[in-house]
Structure 1
Amino acid sequence: MIPSTPFFRTARRLLAGAALACAFVRPIALDAQVREPADLVLLNGNVYTADAAHPRAQAVAVREGRIVLVGSTREARALVGEGTEVIDLEGRTLIPGMMDSHGHLPGLGSALRIVDLVGTRSYDEVIERVRARAAEVPAGQWIRGRGWDQNEWGDTRFPHHAALSEAVPDHPVVLTRVDGHAIFVNARAMELAGITDDTPDPEGGRIVRDPDTGEAIGVFVDRAMGLVNRVVPAESRDEVHEGILLAQRELNRYGLTAMADAGVGRDVIDLYEEMAERGEWTIRNYVMVRPADLDHYFALGPRDNIGGDHMLSVRSIKVSVDGALGSRGAALLEDYSDEPGNRGLVMVPPERLLPIARAALQHGFQLNVHAIGDRGNRLVLDVFEQALAENPVADHRFRIEHAQILHRHDLPRFAELGVIPSMQAIHQASDMYWAENRLGWTRLQGAYAWQSLLQSGVIIPGGSDFPVESPDPLLSFHAAVSRQDAHNWPTGGWFPEQRMTREQALYHLTIWGAQAAFMEDRIGSITPGKLADLVVLSQDIMVVPAEEILDTKVEMTFVGGRLVYDRAAEGERPRTDG
């Protein structure tokens, strides 16, 4: 049973109302203020509100950053005064500002400034991109890159550093895998890190070795990454700040108005708070703190409105218990089908996770735990169950981040415990090419099982895990409703019975994300009284054929009624398939 709390009663209502009505509904407004002129009116639109009680409208009026009316164009015109900005949508679609419920803002900022390896189709292409950067910087300077994925190459084995070391001998090189759970380095980097073939694997990590010689090939998985990363010079504070400003601008271009920042250190959060005081945020950031900083943030308590305007919240925790499927670090109950003897990695065992869960409940913090494999997910559910039995907090909203591979016995436990599966539809589109090789057919029945989870009675907030994937939420929307990649493969979709309806996919990227971040009273739907986070689209993603969804352009993005992106003025962001 879903716990009978205000949150889960609301979740039931939203799930029941997810089939949006096509008829326009009675206009709704903040009655006390409805006769005062608005600051902004958007009219003649095709409005999807993500509000189950009033799903459709033609126009929206905004005053002082908040929505004051949702209804017909005639009703909205009555709020036009001398100083009102009026935007004629001319039939274009208006939806709530979209939320990425699992991303990494500093990581995206860094990725925009280093060697981009996303989309490389061979090891040789990686080498050429790194060689080109090496020609631009002095010998001895570290070269960083991100985005390689050996599963996209002809040879899907992990690469050996020899060719990279020969091509770039004088610069230490560290290249992060697309999922962020492995790095690939050259000989110079290993030398500076003091790593030899005899260096042991750290707890929760793996140094990938040649199976015949035992030689370290240059790939380090999960906790083993720290053996190298500890000697990589950290970005300066100014560089981090520059990257964050670039990254949030990128997110606004894609129609994102809010995000959950999945695991940030105290130094970066301090910078975030300064940015909030200076009014630099153009995206609402729901921050998850790291376990090392818990005493500091527990002393401050949960904070929902740092700096005002509800742009920055710090009230949740991020822990990772296993690795990623692509690098075979996800913790499985049985061996990997394509690597017998390997069941992945548990980085935080139950005896370390349980005290964190207990403390989170005691201090009123949400706990969000990365778990991808079926063993990882079971471990987390078991810990949550024990912690909640000891301290049955009603509205905890604990989350499992990713929840990709679930044993059938664990699927109903999310609803039973009130645990939210925070999932990234785009991961399914990226992983489906090789997932069966990793897992075998039987385990795929519980992989990326969105509809099974929804039918059990939970909500699924959506994200991209950027910069692991493109932050473009329309890629996620397309994957959610089609179970296909950006090229509309495979025909009919991959395990199509698990795809979402259009309405569920809209909620996935709007109101469910807001609920999963305790923000449903402020954002997530176009509802009077809520903050005016709005996105104008070039076409109706709720009705166009699935193969045409990715032709959609984000025309305008508003945060609190303020225009933060205008395609007509700035030009569109080219779409990639991630």
Structure 2
Amino acid sequence: MKHSVLILLSYLLSTATLAAPTHITNVQGYTLSDKEEMVTFTDMVFDGGKVLAIGGGSSLKDTYPDADVIDGKNRILLPGLIDAHGHILGLGETLLAVDVRDIPSAKASAQKVRDYAQKNPDLTWILGGGWNQVLWADNAFPTSEMLDEYIQDRPVWISRVDGHAGWANSKALKIAGVTKDSLDPPGGQIVRDKNGVPTGVLIDNAMNMLVEKIPQDTEQDLQRKLDAAEAHLLSLGITSAHDAGIDYATYQYYIKRSQQLELSMRIYAMIAATDPKLADMLNAGPIHDQYDYLSISSVKVYGDGALGSRGAAMLSAYSDDHENIGLLLTPEKQLKPLFDLIMGNGFQLNIHEIGDRGNRLALDQFEETFSRINGQHLRNRVEHAQVIDVTDIPRFKTLEIIPSMQPTHATSDMNMAKDRIGEARLKGAYAWQTFEEQGSIIPFGSDFPVELANPFFGLHAAVTRQNRNNQPEGGWIKEEAVTVEQAFKGFTYSGAYAAHQENSIGTLSSGKWADFILIDQDIFTINPQDIWKTKVLETWVGGVKRYDSALND
């Protein structure tokens, strides 16, 4: 209750018309203009949660003599950053559950799960995520026996780092009814040993067999996850995030939090196309609150799987698995009625596609749907647009499809991408500069918690094509690197544009919300290899300070 009252007071203060404007001075400010040109400034005045003006100190001081002045101490000021593809409650769950990211072996991962289980004896299910067999010496999927060695009394479910596979112990498999006789569901795979016995790993749609047995979140669970995620994202300078695929319970909970003025950051939520109540949510129409904290006017469609688990749908077989062309999570024949339903209701359609076959199927369906019911104005998106046949890249521009991309995917995948798809197909992979040169708008994100949410990691990867150890030297497929200004646009204006929000957020100009951050170094002048080291000092949303590093050290 105390938290709710404080948030309410913050809203009221941010929209009060009688309070004096706030003038933050002595900053090194950067923003794009409404014409997408870089603008620098030393002062900004905001009132009622919105920007009144930016410019030089003396002119604004004369114009707003009664403003409350804040000394920016010559720090760098940027618009609040926008992550155009993440999973907010998934991040919250990761922050609260066991995280085995970057653990060097399956055994060590299982041991960390054991330690977490011992510290949480009241949990009926042990949940977590982050494993990645590509980082392990044997590159092999883990098995249920590895978890059984430590935990037999409670079900365990640990998702892969990309969210497209999961690792279960025998107790969880039993609850899910996964046996030797179980059939692989369409768009999914039960990994089996040579005798056909499930090994404990479920891929893509096969995960649903187990996940549906996990108890549903209570409202208290949702609150804990959202609070944890918001606090984390605000500390990283993210003032708005696009939540890529929410179910009906989350849809209802977000609306409730919005109505009670209890959101601390902006959420652009995509309804999950797989939710049984999809039609009901579409019939309710788009959701937009008066303060622009919540917008629900898009749907996330699940096209194919992920590259790491060889679930991305490819036009030809994987280079390291000659019998496998990946998975279609949504069968091809279901795309036409699904596109008609979503775009026919005026909702933006954002489809997850990673492989070249998945991307082509999506482009083909967009083209066919547009020819009958139009819909280009909805700014439809392909989420990830990761591996694309080079002949299909121009079609994104022709069809006005937005490639929503995540820079750190490239630096995470670079050690295995060539093995998966070979040299030739890399020519259309993670092709940011190629998209830039044809004039595509590219919103950048992280796909948290698949990747770490820190947007400066994404900015660094986009510009250098290197990991945070500055490898490989010169950058991986360096011709597809973007400039700092292009990357900055991807995490600001382009994210806003991709959500139909460029008139309210994404840049700092008169009439837009005063969403901004103060950081400790100038990303436009430092060595690009150091961008990832940037620290956020303060985060403001709607003219209200939501994070202050001085209070959190």
Question: TM-score if structure 2 supplies the norm length?
Answer: 0.94
Residue 141 of structure 1 and its aligned partner are, at CA, apart by 2.5
Residue 239 of structure 1 and its aligned partner are, at CA, apart by 0.9
Gap runs ≥5 in structure 2: 1-17
Residue 353 of structure 1 aligns with an amino acid whose one-letter code is L
Residue 394 of structure 1 and its aligned partner are, at CA, apart by 4.4
C-alpha distance in structure 1 between counterparts of 2:58 and 2:523, whole Å: 25
Residues 404 and 394 (structure 1), Cα distance of their counterparts in 2 relative to 1, 3 Å cut: closer
What are the residue-to-residue correspondences of 1:257-406 with 2, within 5 Å?
257-291=239-273, 292-305=276-289, 308-406=290-388
Residue 92 in structure 1 maps to residue 71 in structure 2: no
Residues 54 and 491 (structure 1), Cα distance of their counterparts in 2 relative to 1, 3 Å cut: closer
Residue 117 of structure 1 and its aligned partner are, at CA, apart by 1.0
2:174 corresponds in structure 1 to: 191
C-alpha distance in structure 1 between counterparts of 2:220 and 2:387, whole Å: 39
Give the conservation status (yes or no) of the 8 Å contact 1:139–1:170: no
Give the conservation status (yes or no) of the 8 Å contact 1:350–1:380: no
Residue 240 of structure 1 and its aligned partner are, at CA, apart by 1.2
Give the conservation status (yes or no) of the 8 Å contact 2:85–2:444: yes
Residue 74 of structure 2 aligns with an amino acid whose one-letter code is G
SS in 2 for 1:445: helix
The partner residue of 1:163 within 111, 131, 146 is 146
Residues 161 and 542 (structure 1), Cα distance of their counterparts in 2 relative to 1, 3 Å cut: same
Once the two structures are overlaid, the 10-residue window that deviates more, 116-125 or 523-532, is 116-125
| Cα deviation 1:223-274 (Å, max 9, x = unaligned) | 0001111222222221111110111111100000111111101111111111
Residue 427 of structure 1 aligns with an amino acid whose one-letter code is H
What are the residue-to-residue correspondences of 1:513-552 with 2, within 5 Å?
513-552=495-534
The partner residue of 1:410 within 392, 396, 419 is 392
C-alpha distance in structure 2 between counterparts of 1:138 and 1:201, whole Å: 33
Residue 509 in structure 1 maps to residue 479 in structure 2: no
Residue 39 of structure 1 and its aligned partner are, at CA, apart by 2.1
C-alpha distance in structure 1 between counterparts of 2:529 and 2:95, whole Å: 29
Once the two structures are overlaid, the 10-residue window that deviates more, 474-483 or 272-281, is 272-281
Residue 78 of structure 1 and its aligned partner are, at CA, apart by 2.5
Residue 149 in structure 1 maps to residue 132 in structure 2: yes
Residue 298 of structure 1 and its aligned partner are, at CA, apart by 2.5
SS in 2 for 1:184: strand
| Cα deviation 1:444-469 (Å, max 9, x = unaligned) | 11110001111112110011111111
C-alpha distance in structure 1 between counterparts of 2:62 and 2:513, whole Å: 21
Give the conservation status (yes or no) of the 8 Å contact 1:371–1:401: yes
Residue 136 of structure 1 and its aligned partner are, at CA, apart by 3.0
Residue 351 of structure 1 and its aligned partner are, at CA, apart by 2.1
Residue 311 of structure 1 and its aligned partner are, at CA, apart by 0.4
2:228 corresponds in structure 1 to: 246
SS in 2 for 1:275: helix
Give the conservation status (yes or no) of the 8 Å contact 1:330–1:344: yes
2:53 corresponds in structure 1 to: 69
2:210 corresponds in structure 1 to: 228
C-alpha distance in structure 1 between counterparts of 2:537 and 2:516, whole Å: 11
Residues 168 and 564 (structure 1), Cα distance of their counterparts in 2 relative to 1, 3 Å cut: same
C-alpha distance in structure 2 between counterparts of 1:489 and 1:471, whole Å: 20
Residue 77 of structure 1 and its aligned partner are, at CA, apart by 2.2
C-alpha distance in structure 2 between counterparts of 1:156 and 1:194, whole Å: 28
Residue 114 in structure 1 maps to residue 125 in structure 2: no
What are the residue-to-residue correspondences of 1:549-560 with 2, within 5 Å?
549-560=531-542
Q: Identity of paired residues, percent?
A: 40
| Cα deviation 1:426-480 (Å, max 9, x = unaligned) | 1111111111111111111111000111111211001111111111100000000
| Cα deviation 1:357-389 (Å, max 9, x = unaligned) | 222332211000000000000010000000001
What are the residue-to-residue correspondences of 1:16-95 with 2, within 5 Å?
39-51=21-33, 52-53=36-37, 55-82=39-66, 84-95=67-78
SS in 1 for 2:178: coil
Give the conservation status (yes or no) of the 8 Å contact 1:140–1:172: no
C-alpha distance in structure 1 between counterparts of 2:493 and 2:299, whole Å: 21
Residue 293 of structure 1 and its aligned partner are, at CA, apart by 2.8
Once the two structures are overlaid, the 10-residue window that deviates more, 188-197 or 460-469, is 188-197
What are the residue-to-residue correspondences of 1:466-477 with 2, within 5 Å?
466-477=448-459
C-alpha distance in structure 2 between counterparts of 1:333 and 1:396, whole Å: 28
C-alpha distance in structure 1 between counterparts of 2:237 and 2:468, whole Å: 18
Residue 481 in structure 1 maps to residue 475 in structure 2: no
Residue 422 in structure 1 maps to residue 404 in structure 2: yes
Give the conservation status (yes or no) of the 8 Å contact 1:50–1:526: yes
SS in 2 for 1:289: strand
SS in 2 for 1:56: strand
Residue 142 of structure 1 aligns with an amino acid whose one-letter code is W
C-alpha distance in structure 1 between counterparts of 2:29 and 2:173, whole Å: 55
Residue 135 in structure 1 maps to residue 124 in structure 2: no
Once the two structures are overlaid, the 10-residue window that deviates more, 348-357 or 179-188, is 348-357
The partner residue of 1:445 within 427, 433, 438 is 427
Give the conservation status (yes or no) of the 8 Å contact 1:105–1:244: yes
Once the two structures are overlaid, the 10-residue window that deviates more, 510-519 or 132-141, is 132-141
Give the conservation status (yes or no) of the 8 Å contact 1:57–1:71: yes
C-alpha distance in structure 1 between counterparts of 2:60 and 2:406, whole Å: 36
| Cα deviation 1:514-536 (Å, max 9, x = unaligned) | 00000000000011111100011
Tell me the matched-pair count: 532
1:24 corresponds in structure 2 to: none
The partner residue of 1:103 within 75, 78, 86 is 86
Gap runs ≥5 in structure 1: 1-35, 572-578
Residue 425 of structure 1 and its aligned partner are, at CA, apart by 0.4
2:109 corresponds in structure 1 to: 126
C-alpha distance in structure 1 between counterparts of 2:19 and 2:225, whole Å: 39
C-alpha distance in structure 1 between counterparts of 2:299 and 2:240, whole Å: 18
Give the conservation status (yes or no) of the 8 Å contact 1:158–1:219: yes
Give the conservation status (yes or no) of the 8 Å contact 2:270–2:300: yes
Question: TM-score if structure 1 supplies the norm length?
Answer: 0.90
